[in-house]
């Protein structure tokens, strides 16, 4: 029970991370439709240690994803949409010594013949 309370408190303390830059140890909140959570990073010897924790609703069990990003690298976190709805996705990228979180458009693209 304690871990869920701590996770909820962390979500409330974090700022909005959509289309923005994060600073080291500055948590940002993320919203992937039914999934909500936080992302933060620390600077390590091998690169930026990015930690993302998400859960489905306040009662859902949290899931943590960790990745080390070097300059020019990125990772994508996504959650499926409902029936006939696009997925919700975020890209976390490192560029110019900074870390950015950006919403990705996952709507299907219409491709016309001959293009």
Tens-digit pLDDT profile for residues 55-71: 987 788 999 999 999 99
CB 81 within 8 A of CB 33: yes
Residue 34 confidence (pLDDT): 86
> Residue 110: its pLDDT value, please?
63
- Domain range annotation of the chain: 2-104
pTM of full prediction above 0.85:
no
Least Cα distance to 102 among 112, 84, 89, 86 occurs for 89
Question: Which stretches of the chain score pLDDT less than 70?
Answer: 1-19, 108-111, 114-115
| pLDDT tens, residue by residue, 25-35 | 988 999 888 89
């Amino acid at each position: 029970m304690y871990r869920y309370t701590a996770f909820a408190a962390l979500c409330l303390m974090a700022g909005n991370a959509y289309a923005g830059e994060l600073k080291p140890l500055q948590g940002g909140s993320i919203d992937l439709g039914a999934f909500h959570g936080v992302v933060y990073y620390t600077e390590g010897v091998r690169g930026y240690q990015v930690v993302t924790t998400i859960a489905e609703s306040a009662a859902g069990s949290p899931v943590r994803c960790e990745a080390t990003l070097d300059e020019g690298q990125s990772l994508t976190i996504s959650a499926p949409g409902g029936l006939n709805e696009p997925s919700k996705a975020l890209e976390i990228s490192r560029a110019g010594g900074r870390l950015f979180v950006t919403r990705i458009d996952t709507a299907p693209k219409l491709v016309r013949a001959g293009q």
